């Protein structure tokens, strides 16, 4: 498509394109917000069950309207049928779990397979009717975004507004439900009712999304934005905002790309864009993304190596003593390249000075080394007194954890000391000398 066509799509010059873009963008926001609750509640697969269970409701509603003398194409009637069977499937899962004693995954597999099989069977009956009015029912499986009309966009917009408003109104209760169900019940929150409301919101999002992306792909739009948002933040409201934003961007970009290339189905493209957003979030998310995790791991390893070096400098001689390279090698199993690299970094940071006789701690390095030694001995004390670790093994265990102590935890460990209580001895010679 040429430049003028691209601008027409981006500026929503075409009426049908504007309906599709606005409808899918709004749907993306609602799906992201509701999907966050399902993800945190560990009910994501239940959305898949509800999504597949809408098919028999759509076809059954079509058959009922045909039998009553109608055309069977009334969208409110079809969506009502989808809502009924979706709610029925959501209700059946906990009922069958309690009655059978099977685990959730087995029950959800039974309900999903049975309901979808029933839907396919009813669809086969509907497609063989002599009336010829059944064309388009398959669109509810894979979606038919390009044929969206004004009433479809209004239904999506109204449904999304209701879902978002109810979610925000019950945000405090949903937070308790997702993170501490037992505490919520103990303070009088209606846990069962909140679970039912959550399921109704999920069904509402799935039903209004049938026209846009279809029942099979709808589950992706419900789960992927919420999963992607978890790489960016840990906050409850922030996660919903991120998920809603990712869903909106996915709906807008997917429908825009589909409008520019008529041979690309909008529903599939929207889900593909959502998957790309997930991959980008997993790689670059500032909270739990792979890049951030790698960077934090590197920072921790550097801090551990620096603390090992400072501690080894004190263990090899009193402050002001020149320490040779072979002494450091004998103190700890260093790799030669890693030790040389860490020595250069410590010199650049002002913690070590280098002389022809060897390396020596600066006043700044001595403060840091003594802090490392004290933290190590505090952690030894905690392990001996509160974890029943044998004194002969405590040095190794303390060495594994001391590097992640923060100021608050150090203060708590110090508070465990009785007045006048001595710190435990250490096999390292310097720690026995340190006051």
Per-residue pLDDT reduced to its tens digit, 323-377: 888 888 777 777 888 888 888 888 888 888 888 888 888 888 888 888 887 777 7
Q: Is the pLDDT of residue 395 over 80?
A: no
For domain 289-435, say whether CATH 3.30.70.600 is its number: no
> In this predicted structure, what is the pLDDT of residue 143?
67
217 with 143: CB under 8 angstroms? yes
Q: What is the per-residue pLDDT across 139-157, written as a single tens digit (0 to 9) for each?
A: 666 666 666 777 777 888 8
pLDDT tier for residue 7 given thresholds of 50, 70 and 90: low
CATH number of 3-284: 1.10.3470.10
How far apart are alpha carbons 243 and 228 in whole angstroms? 7
pLDDT tier for residue 97 given thresholds of 50, 70 and 90: confident
Percent of the chain exceeding pLDDT 90 equals 11
Q: What is the DSSP letter of 391?
A: T
Q: Is the pLDDT of residue 426 over 70?
A: no
> In this predicted structure, what is the pLDDT of residue 404?
56
Tracing tokens 């309901």 back to the chain, one arrives at 115
How far apart are alpha carbons 345 and 342 in whole angstroms? 5
> In this predicted structure, what is the pLDDT of residue 1?
41
325 with 360: CB under 8 angstroms? no
414 with 407: CB under 8 angstroms? no
Total count of residues recorded for the chain: 435
In order, the DSSP letters of 319-363 are TT--B-HHHHHHHS---HHHHHHHHHHHHHTTSEEEETTEEEE-H
Q: Which of residues 194 and 11 earns the better pLDDT score?
A: 194
> In this predicted structure, what is the pLDDT of residue 423?
47
Average pLDDT, the chain: 79
Q: Is the pLDDT of residue 433 over 50?
A: no
Percent of the chain exceeding pLDDT 70 equals 79
Q: What is the per-residue pLDDT across 45-78, written as a single tens digit (0 to 9) for each?
A: 888 888 888 888 888 888 888 888 766 677 778 8
Q: What is the DSSP letter of 405?
A: -
> In this predicted structure, what is the pLDDT of residue 224?
92
Q: Is the pLDDT of residue 290 over 60?
A: yes
> In this predicted structure, what is the pLDDT of residue 435?
34
243 with 225: CB under 8 angstroms? yes
| CA 223 to mean position of chain CA atoms | 9
Question: What average pLDDT does range 22-32 have in this prediction?
Answer: 88
pLDDT tier for residue 386 given thresholds of 50, 70 and 90: low
Q: What's the start-to-end Cα distance of the chain, in Å?
A: 77
Question: What average pLDDT does range 276-304 have in this prediction?
Answer: 88
> In this predicted structure, what is the pLDDT of residue 276?
93
Q: What is the per-residue pLDDT across 212-265, written as a single tens digit (0 to 9) for each?
A: 777 777 888 889 999 999 999 988 999 999 999 999 999 888 888 877 777 777
Domain ranges of the chain: 3-284, 289-435
């Amino acid at each position: 498509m040429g430049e003028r066509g691209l601008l027409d799509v981006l500026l929503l010059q075409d009426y049908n394109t504007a309906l599709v873009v606005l409808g899918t963008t709004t749907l993306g926001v609602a799906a992201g917000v509701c999907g966050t609750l399902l993800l945190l509640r560990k009910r994501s697969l239940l959305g898949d069950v509800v999504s597949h269970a809408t098919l028999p409701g759509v076809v059954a509603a079509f058959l009922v309207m045909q039998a009553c003398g109608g055309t069977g194409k009334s969208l409110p009637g079809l969506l009502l049928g989808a809502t009924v069977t979706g709610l029925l499937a959501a209700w059946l899962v906990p009922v069958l779990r309690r009655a059978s004693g099977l685990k959730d995954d087995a029950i959800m597999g039974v309900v999903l397979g049975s309901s979808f099989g029933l839907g396919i069977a009813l669809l086969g009956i509907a497609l063989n009717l002599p009336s010829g009015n059944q064309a388009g029912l398959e669109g509810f499986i894979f979606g038919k975004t390009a044929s969206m009309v004004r009433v479809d966009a209004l239904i999506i917009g109204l449904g999304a507004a209701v879902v978002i408003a109810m979610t925000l109104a019950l945000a405090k209760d949903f937070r308790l439900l997702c993170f501490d169900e037992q505490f919520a019940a103990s303070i009088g929150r209606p846990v069962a009712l909140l679970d039912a409301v959550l399921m109704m919101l999920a069904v509402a999002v799935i039903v209004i999304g049938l026209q846009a992306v279809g029942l099979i792909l709808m589950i992706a739009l419900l789960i992927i934005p919420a999963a992607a948002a978890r790489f960016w933040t840990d906050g409850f409201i922030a996660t919903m905002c991120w998920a809603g934003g990712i869903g909106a961007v996915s709906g807008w970009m997917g429908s825009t790309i589909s409008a520019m290339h008529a041979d690309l189905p909008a529903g599939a493209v929207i889900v593909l864009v959502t998957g790309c957003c997930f991959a980008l979030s997993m790689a670059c998310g500032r909270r739990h993304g792979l890049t951030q995790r790698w960077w934090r791991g590197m920072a921790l390893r550097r801090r551990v190596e620096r603390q090992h070096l400072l501690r080894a400098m004190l263990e090899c001689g009193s402050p002001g003593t020149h320490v040779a390279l072979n002494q450091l090698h004998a103190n700890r199993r260093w790799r030669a390249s890693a030790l040389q690299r860490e020595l250069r970094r410590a010199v650049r940071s002002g913690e070590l000075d280098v002389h022809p006789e060897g390396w020596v701690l600066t006043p700044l390095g001595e403060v840091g080394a003594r802090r490392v030694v004290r933290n190590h001995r505090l952690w030894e004390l905690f392990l001996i007194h509160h974890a029943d670790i044998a004194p002969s093994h405590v040095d190794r265990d303390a060495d594994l954890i001391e590097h992640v102590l923060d100021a608050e935890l150090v203060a708590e460990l110090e508070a465990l000391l009785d007045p006048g209580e001595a710190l435990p001895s250490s096999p390292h010679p310097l720690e026995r000398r340190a006051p």
